[in-house]
Amino acid sequence: MDGANSSSTGETAAGVATLRDVNNAFRLLVDTTTDYAIFLLDPQGHVRTWNAGAQRLKGYRADEIVGQHFSIFYPPDALERNWPAKELELAALEGRFEDEGWRVRKDGRWFWANVVITALRDEIGNLVGFGKVSRDLTERKRAEEQLRESEERFRLIIDSTVDYGIFMLDPEGRIESWNEGAQRIKGYTADEIIGRHFSIFYTPEALASGWPAHELKEAARVGRFEDEGLRVRKDGSRFWANVIIAALRGADGVLRGYSKVTRDISERKAHEDRIERLAGELRQRVADLDAANSELAQKNAENESFVYSVSHDLRSPLVNLQGFSQELMLTSSDLKTMLADAAVPPPIRDKGIALVDGELRESINFIGKAVAHLSNIIDGLLRLSRVGRVEYQFAPVDLTEVVTDIVRAMHSTVSRSGAQVTVHHLPVVLADRNAAGQVFANIIGNALKSLDAGRRGTVDISATEDDPPVFAIRDNGVGIPEEYRSKIFRVFQHVHTTRTRGEGMGLAIVWRIIERHGGRIWFESTAGEGTTFFFTLGGRVHAHSASS
């Protein structure tokens, strides 16, 4: 019997030792836990124990906090509404209470805490205190708050956007959200449209072809679908829309729904249609102009051919007139010799010689001058006709060299006029050398003819650095009278009727040559101050191009 008692006592002692070891291990676990504040409260809420996690989280050492009421951890607003006592009341009633809220550290800083309070009771159910576990969730709270604010900003952006209809669809295409832009574009309010299928916005033709379902299918397949087409408003009116549908999937890849962005592009579409219509009209006008230009080119070629033919045909009569006028000169000389014969009565001799030396000689001289003038006109017409018919040889032309040679050839004319002719550096251009020289020679010659005898004349020849370069031939002559300015490039036009005049062909030929080079010519003139002719020929040829 004594042996049995001794054995039983030994087992009890071993059990007590084991329980003590477990409690010690548990206490050690609690005391060394730093991520959680774990401590005991008495039934009134006074702190009974304190672990390392509580010190790290709250900032108090055990000797500072044990014995104080746990309400010290609560902010003023929680104390005003007696929230600490409420927590203990609910924990005692339900056995457990969990909450999240702001708590206060020793240094006064606030943190967001998850709190679990558990009622502790003895074997007969009497409340002996509370276990309290707190965890710092400030970072999570901050992240959640930032996310909430971000979502709120995003919602405000979406809701306040009026130029775009932005809304959500569920996986079947039913509308789940609605913004201000969608209401403005579609005409429906949120309470009218949420829950309805988005196919309500499509035309009967699109519905018949199954287009709404096709859009969702493609968006789900590739992630995004974009389209432009007609859509229907609440009032039945149609508008052109640009539509983007994006599939929304969760982290698991499951389709959660779609986002849909709609933009009214009716105005842009109208502009595009108008531009296309105007472009079509422009293409037609260009075609008409091409046809007209072709017709004009053909007529111009016919005119040049006619002028050439007529000028050629007039040569023979002119040669005959020149021959007959020379015959008349010889005949008048023979007649004068006959009249000088002594057999001729003096009255008849005197009268005959007067006629021969007077009216007859004057008439013959007039015929000669008229023939020469007509010959010059024919030469001018032939030159004009050749401008359109000659094949130009386009090559790099050093215009400084060409113009210097022209001025040198005009030396006697320049000397007689007493003018100063200045040739600045001129570029190398792609042109026909002879034709380009003819342009400069004509305009420089006209400039020398227009100089004012009352002051020393100047003729200045220059070019810009543009490509193609713009040439300028400037004189300080008498200028071009206003009444001649609109017609100086026409055939047979003379600017200075009181000065040395040609046949009125020069500037017409210049115009034609420049036209055939793809250039243009214009002028500025001030009466009494001078004239400047501007023109372009071919494009500038750079050094490496010229050498190659």
Select the CATH number that applies to the domain covering 390-547 from these four: 3.30.565.10, 3.40.50.880, 3.40.50.970, 2.40.10.10: 3.30.565.10
Model confidence over 334-375: pLDDT tens digits?
777 887 777 778 888 778 778 777 777 777 777 777 666 666
Q: Hey, which residues does 175 pair with through a beta bridge?
A: 169
| Mean pLDDT of all residues belonging to the chain | 84
With cut-offs at 50, 70 and 90, classify the pLDDT of residue 493.
Answer: low
Domain extents for the chain?
Answer: 11-136, 161-264, 270-388, 390-547
3-state secondary structure of 61: coil
Kindly report, residue by residue over 34-50, the tens digit of the pLDDT: 789 999 999 999 999 99
- For residue 454, the model assigns a pLDDT of 85
Q: Walk across the sheet containing 255-264 and list its strands.
A: 164-169, 255-264, 238-249, 224-232
Q: What pLDDT, on the 0 to 100 scale, is given for residue 347?
A: 84
Residue whose structure tokens are 């026409």: 490
pLDDT at 75 over 70: yes
Domains 11-136 and 390-547 share a fold: no
| pLDDT of the residue at 486 | 74
Read off the pLDDT of each residue in 393-404 and give the average, rounded to a whole number.
93
pLDDT-based confidence at 56, cuts 50/70/90? very high
- As its CATH architecture, domain 11-136 has 2-Layer Sandwich (3.30)
Q: What angle do CA 318, 319, 324 make, to 5 degrees?
A: 95
Concatenated DSSP letters for 40-52?
A: EE-TT-BB----H
Check if the beta carbon of residue 472 is closer than 8 Å to that of residue 461. yes
What is the helix (H) or strand (E) element at residue 127, kind and residue range? strand 127-136
CATH number of 161-264: 3.30.450.20
Quick one: tokens of 424? 């600045």
| Distance separating alpha carbons of residues 481 and 331, to the nearest angstrom | 47
Q: Is 130 buried (19+), middle (13-18) or exposed (0-12) by CB count in 10 A?
A: buried
Asked if residue 399 lies in contact with residue 426, where contact means CB atoms within 8 angstroms, the answer is: yes
* Structural tokens at position 174: 């039913």
CB 118 within 8 A of CB 88: no
- Contacts (Cβ under 8 Å, ≥6 apart) of 326: none
Give the model's pLDDT for residue 96.
Answer: 95
Question: What pLDDT is recorded for position 9?
Answer: 56
Torsion of CA 511, 515, 517, 518, to 10 degrees: 140
* Positions of E strands within 337-390: none
- Least confidently predicted of 31-40, 240-249, 488-497: 488-497
pLDDT of residue 127: 95
Q: Give the H/E segment covering residue 115.
A: strand 110-121
